[in-house]
Amino acid sequence: MRLNRMIWLLALIAVVGCTSKQKETPAEQATLSGLKKSNFQSVVNGDSTNLYVLTNANGVEVTLTNYGGRIVSVMVPDREGNLKDVVLGFDNIDDYVNIDNNFGATIGRYGNRIANGKITVAGVEYQLPQNNFGHTLHGGPEGFHKKVFQVEQPDGQTVVFSYLSADGEAGFPGNLDVKVTMTLTDDNAIDLQYEATTDKETVVNLTNHSYFNLNGDGNKTILDDSLTIHADAFTPVDNTFMTTGEISPVEGTPMDFRTPTVIGERIDNYDYVQLKNGDGYDHNWVLNTKGDVNQVAATVYSPETGIQLDVYTDEPGVQVYTGNFLDGTVTGKNGALYAKRNAICLETQKFPDSPNKADWPSPYLKPGEKYTSRCIYKFSVKK
């Protein structure tokens, strides 16, 4: 009897062991950039967040999160065929929420600055939150970069983010219905298409705030990269980073990037007041492309990796920002310390403070009209 009981117990242990093994959860597979979806699955202000993965026929991978409608990672090949992550960001949703940042975010309602946070719409003056030297920057401190977007993913290469910005949100008039379609194409481009409608006249200027580092290493500076901007003019700023309302020629100045120029070559020439005012490059260029999305507006090239980024847009301007406010206190993906000038942003847009500049391209949107904007970030390799 004792032997039979022992055999029975051993058999029971074996069954339990097999059952527990069957119930084990398989290890979560990370994305090519090393991200895990579980680290992005949370609830922020009552709305669910997640990580979305796009891949194309070439093995390029882009990941996105609906918190802030953000680009989280972009894995593209270098000249050796090795995939590099060429944007800054975090590897979890908590850091995006708790650390003040706009890495990869959809910016709205108004990208860039509005002087003194004041706009006049249909004869009514509105006061917006002032969050940057007395001005409103990127829609204020609670702009679209802090909102949870609704999501559709119709296929493996497209995500559609949508958000209804309520009348009065951040001081802006009108219920603004926003849709952002992000598509990874088979020619290694991220095609960003923005749409918006309103039920009351308002202003809108949407853009993307990806911080690019084509070296594929957020610890490294972008000062050795070359930059080309197809623009004969730019809009100068004062010492509060606010546009002065002038349009000035780039000819004979450190703002001239009409031919490929190393970013670090002139960036610290603070004898030139615009570089002093911007603490480097943080300016809007008036594009020669005149809204033709088929023409290259700007190009960045990393001699280290051979990766090239071409920017196309139907907008009249591009804000080029060289990460001047990064200070090494923020740790991002792969433990990288994001220090000053370790990234470059190329934000396609209407000109800064356009609501208060009647002769500049209009950012006003009325009921019955549709706002549209397009930006294409296309990656390639120079051998």
Over residues 284-336, the pLDDT tens digits come to 999 999 999 999 999 999 999 999 999 999 999 999 999 999 999 999 999 99
Q: Is 27 part of a structural domain of the chain? A: no
Confidence of residue 25 (pLDDT cuts 50, 70, 90): low
Reduce the secondary structure of 89-137 to three states and give it as a string: CCCCHHHHHHCCCCCCEEECCECCEEHHHEEEECCEEEECCCCECCEEE
Q: Is 357 part of a structural domain of the chain? A: yes
Cα gap 171→354, rounded to integer Å:
17
Q: Is 22 part of a structural domain of the chain? A: no
Check: CB of residue 234 under 8 Å from CB of residue 250. yes
- What pLDDT score was predicted for residue 9? 45
CATH of the domain at 195: 2.70.98.10
Q: Is 8 part of a structural domain of the chain? A: no
DSSP state of 266: T
Cα gap 160→66, rounded to integer Å:
9
Q: What are phi and psi of 139, to 5 degrees?
A: 80, 5
Does the pLDDT at position 1 exceed 80?
no
Does the pLDDT at position 12 exceed 80?
no
Does the pLDDT at position 7 exceed 70?
no
Tell me what the mean pLDDT of segment 348-368 comes to.
98
Cα-based distances in Å from 219 to 120, 185, 371: 43, 28, 38
Domain residues for the domain of 275 are 37-381
Q: Is 19 part of a structural domain of the chain? A: no
Q: What are the pLDDT digits (tens) for 72-88? A: 999 999 999 999 999 99
Tell me what the mean pLDDT of segment 229-241 comes to.
98
Q: What are the pLDDT digits (tens) for 36-54? A: 999 999 999 999 999 999 9
Does the pLDDT at position 30 exceed 90?
yes
Using DSSP's 3-state secondary structure scheme, residue 348 falls into: strand
Place of tokens 């579980």: 38
Q: Is 133 part of a structural domain of the chain? A: yes
Q: Is 15 part of a structural domain of the chain? A: no
Does the pLDDT at position 161 exceed 90?
yes
Q: Is 10 part of a structural domain of the chain? A: no
- What pLDDT score was predicted for residue 169? 98
Q: Could you list the active site residues?
A: 209, 347
Cα gap 293→341, rounded to integer Å:
28
Domains in the chain, number: 1
Average pLDDT, the chain: 94
